[in-house]
Amino acid sequence: MTTTDLPEANIPELDGTVNLADIEALGRSRLGRNALEYYASGANDEVTLAANRAGFRAIRLRPRVLVDVSDVDARTEVLGLPLSFPVGVAPSAFHGLAHADAELGTARAAASAGSVMTLSTFSNTPIEEVAQAAAGRFWFQLYLYTDREVSAEVVRRAEAAGARALVLTVDAPFLGRREPNERHRFALPPHLGVPNAGSREQLRAMESEAGSQLVNYFQGLVDKTFTWADLAWLRSITALPIVLKGILTAEDALLAAHHGAHVWVSNHGGRQLDTAVGSIEALPEVVDAVQGQVEVYLDGGITRGTDVLKAVALGARCVFLGRAALWGLAAGGEAGVRRTLDLLHDEVRLALALCGKQNIGQVGRDLVRL
């Protein structure tokens, strides 16, 4: 089944969702095996994939009472961009597997919700079209290619299109082994391309009798020699703020801050190094290391408004949704992503009120017990 075979979202069905688990179930039901396995799979035994969610469950909230919470305010900002609440959309490849709206639907939903979308290098839609749909509310995620000039051109395109930040993914010199994708030879359907990461013909040339098409393509595309010393080159080709996505240790967080880069705590949704530490578990040491010198973000395992508050309490400026946004897109295109964000926004406001906090600025470590 391709995206074009998928039915349009039944609005009453989407309206009947009351949480992100409902949207996930609806989204999963609309996907064929190829897309579902690509979105859902983690690396190896999926230990880290499970740890992301378990880490949030293990943290307890310490609510305060007898506070006027008649008008709570969930607003915040990231790199000077105002957000309606501290949630954005993480970069993920191939939104066209979920819905014909692809990245355009995700971008429109994020913009209309007062959020921010991070566009993946491996999107099915050109940067310029997504930028227009995002109405100034987008960051661009970059993989460094072995051909530096090709990378520089992609960065120039993103900057010219209005990206507000450049997100360099640093935890994927090689792709983690996602066994369902290997077993069933994941490949993009013929109608989808990768306009920011080479031609359709190049991608097709990587198809083989075994393994994932994406892995075969990625291995020859991405620069595996890039180090901290090379960040100066990246800085020289862009005026955009640089965010390093894939930081899990205090040591690397310190290096990022030293190089003037913001820090995105992530284990790639449990898709890279299995048994790596969960994102929320890594967050406190990262925040303590940078001591407010740079902004800190997080993805991995967020499905509830209380998860958002826990991450903010531990020092994240904002959290980003990966799979949750994709489930929304699969469930109902732009409307499904918007429903996902709206439900989570409502949960954040309720959690703030029940914790006795009037605004996001009042959320600190006193709110949680580890």
Given a cut of 50, is residue 3 above it in pLDDT? no
Classified as helix, coil or strand, 155 is helix
**Does pLDDT of 28 surpass 50?**
yes
pTM: 0.93
For the cut 90, the answer to whether the pLDDT of residue 367 exceeds it is yes
Going from the C-alpha of 281 to that of each of 191, 251, 295, 335, the distances in angstroms are: 40, 15, 18, 33
Residues 6+ apart with CB under 8 A from 362: none
**How many separate domains does the chain show?**
1
Predicted confidence band of residue 13 (pLDDT cuts 50, 70, 90): confident
Which token pair is 39? 């979105």
Asked whether residue 213 carries a pLDDT value surpassing 90, the answer given is: no
Q: Tell me the C-alpha distance between 283 and 40, whole Å.
A: 23
**What span, in angstroms and rounded, lies between the C-alpha atoms of 20 and 9?**
16
Mean pLDDT of 229-243: 96
Residue ranges making up the domain that contains 327: 3-369
Residue given tokens 């506070």 in the structure block: 67
pLDDT of residue 221: 82
User: Exposed, middle or buried: residue 152 (CB in 10 Å: 0-12, 13-18, 19+)?
Assistant: middle
Q: According to the model, what pLDDT value does residue 211 have?
A: 61
**Residues contacting residue 141 through CB under 8 Å, at least 6 positions apart:** 91, 118, 119, 120, 121, 167, 168, 169, 245
Amino acid at 199: S
Strands 87-89 and 318-321: parallel
Q: Which amino acid is at 71?
A: D
Confidence band, pLDDT 50/70/90 cuts, at residue 220: confident
Which of 95, 262, 268, 345 is the catalytic position? 268
Backbone dihedral region for residue 194 (phi beyond 0: left; psi -120 to 50: alpha; all else: beta): beta
Helix (H) or strand (E) holding 71: none
The one-letter amino acid at 227: T
In angstroms, the CA 193 to CA 122 distance is: 9
Mean pLDDT within 329-339? 97
345 noted as active-site residue = no
Reported as type and span, the H/E element at residue 77 is strand 76-78
Higher pLDDT, 175 or 24: 24
Mean pLDDT throughout 69-87?
98
What is the pLDDT, as a whole number, of residue 68? Answer: 98
Give residue 339's pLDDT band: very low, low, confident or very high (50, 70, 90): very high
Res. 205: pLDDT tops 70: no
Q: What percent of the chain has pLDDT over 90?
A: 84
| pLDDT of 31 above 90 | yes
Cα–Cα dist 268/260, whole Å: 22
pLDDT tops 80 at residue 307: yes
The predicted model gives 43-67 an average pLDDT of 98
pLDDT band, very low/low/confident/very high, at 222 (cuts 50, 70, 90): confident
The average pLDDT across 32-47 equals 96
pLDDT band at residue 201 under the 50/70/90 scheme: very low
What's the start-to-end Cα distance of the chain, in Å? 44
**111 band by pLDDT with thresholds 50, 70 and 90:** very high
Question: Does the structure show a pLDDT above 60 at 210?
Answer: no
Q: What is the CATH number of the domain that holds 154?
A: 3.20.20.70
pLDDT at 9 over 80: no
User: In the predicted model, what is the mean pLDDT of residues 87-94?
Assistant: 97
How far is 121 from 198, CA to CA, in rounded Å?
10
pLDDT of residue 303: 98
Q: Rounded CA gap, 159 and 182, in Å?
A: 35
Summarize the confidence of residues 268-277 as an average pLDDT.
97
Instruction: Determine the average pLDDT of the residues in 122-151.
Output: 95
Report the sign of the C-alpha dihedral through residues 103, 315, 21, 83, in that order.
Answer: negative
Q: Report the pLDDT value the prediction gives residue 11, as an integer from 0 to 100.
A: 61
pLDDT, averaged across the chain: 92
Paired strand residues for 245: 169, 264
pLDDT of residue 198: 62
Strand bridging mode 81-83 / 76-78: antiparallel
Please state, in angstroms and rounded to a whole number, the distance separating the CA atoms of residues 282 and 292.
16
pLDDT for residue 84: 98
Mean local confidence (pLDDT), 321-343: 98
For residue 12, pLDDT beyond 90: no
Task: Enter the DSSP assignment of 184.
Answer: T
Q: For the chain, what is the largest distance between any 2 Cα atoms, rounded to a whole number of angstroms?
A: 65
7 DSSP 8-state letter: P
